[in-house]
Structure 1
Amino acid sequence: MTIVRKDDWYSSLSQYIDAAFRRPFAYGEFDCTLFAAGAVEAMTGVNLYADYAGRYQTLAGGLRHLKKLGFDNHVDYAASLFEEVHPSMAQVGDIAVVDTETGHGLGIVQGSRIYVAQPGALGLGLVDLLQASRAFRV
C-alpha cells in the first residue's frame, strides 16, 4: 500500500490536531494509535483503522486486533507501513514512538515536540522529540 500526503496535508493536519486537542483519552475511541491513525488520515485520506475503531475498550483489546492482522503491536504495524527514520530526522506529521509506563505510544511530530494522547488525560500532551525511540516518515 502506498500512502502519500495530500497537497493540503499541513492545513488538514493542523485542523485535526486542533479538534483533538481537548478530546479525552479512551481506548478504541481516542488512544495513541487512533490519534496517530487519524493524523495519517488527515494528511493522506487513508484510514488505517476503519475496521477497528470503537471495537475495543482496553490496550489488550487493541493489541488482539493487531495480532489478527499479524502484528505484535501498534509500533510493528506502523513499521510495516512507513519508512523508519532516525528520530532526529523526523519532520512535522511523521509518527514518533515514545516509551510510556504501559509500553510504547505513538505520537505525531510537530517540530521539536511530539503531540501524544495520554491515558487518564484530557486532550493532547507534548513530549520532547528527543524522547522518541523510533520515528516513521508519513
Structure 2
Amino acid sequence: MSDLVGQRLAAPFAWGSNDCVLFAADGIAAMTGVDPAGSLRGQWASRGEAVRVIAQLGGLAAAVDVLGLDPIGPLFAQRGDLVLHRRDGTDALALCLGNQLAGPSDSGLLFFGLENGVQAWRVG
C-alpha cells in the first residue's frame, strides 16, 4: 500500500480513475490481490454518473458491506483498513494509514484524522 500512496501523493482527484471509491479499491487490491471494484471500473467519468451507480448499490456503506469485510469502529481502524468519512455533508471512502486517513483531493492525497470516520471495515 505504501507504493500506492507514493504513486498517488500528487495525483489529482479524477472521477472514474482516482476518486475515493477507486483509490480505496486500489488500496485493497494492493493488500489482498483482489480488486473489489472490478465490476465498477469504467462505469463513471463524472460526479453525476458516480452518484447514480453508488445510489443503485444502496450508497457507499451498503456497497462496502457487500464485500464481506468485518465492520469496526472508525477509531479502531488500523493501517490498510477502509473508512467511510463525511466531509461537508458528503460521504467518501479513505484508507487508514495508521493514525491518519488518506483520500484523493484536487491537489493530491489529503491526509486527515481518524476522528473524521463514520464507519470502518477491517481489510487485512
Give yes or no for TM over 0.5: yes
Q: Write the distance in 1 (CA, Å) between the matches of 2:74 and 2:21.
A: 18
Aligned to 1:135: 120
Identity of aligned residues (%): 26
Structure 1 runs not aligned, ≥5 long: 1-12
1:46 maps to 2:34: yes
User: Match for 1:92: what amino acid?
Assistant: R
Structure 2 runs not aligned, ≥5 long: none
Question: Residue 74 of structure 1: which of 60, 64, 77 is its match?
Answer: 60
**Cα shift at 1:59:** 2.5
**Cα shift at 1:31:** 0.3
Q: Moved runs in structure 1, 4+ residues, more than 4 A? A: none
User: Match for 1:100: what amino acid?
Assistant: R
Aligned length, in residue pairs: 122
Normalising by the residue count of structure 2, what TM-score does the alignment of the two structures yield? 0.89
**Cα shift at 1:19:** 0.7
User: Match for 1:21: what amino acid?
Assistant: L
Question: Residue 112 of structure 1: which of 69, 74, 99 is its match?
Answer: 99
Q: Write the distance in 1 (CA, Å) between the matches of 2:113 and 2:65.
A: 21
Aligned to 1:20: 8
**Cα shift at 1:67:** 4.7
Could you say what the CA RMSD is over the residues aligned between the two structures, in angstroms?
Answer: 1.6
Aligned to 2:20: 32
Compared CA separation, residues 50 and 80, structure 1 to 2 (3 A)? closer
Whether the 8 Å contact between 1:97 and 1:132 is mirrored in structure 2 is yes
User: Match for 1:63: what amino acid?
Assistant: V
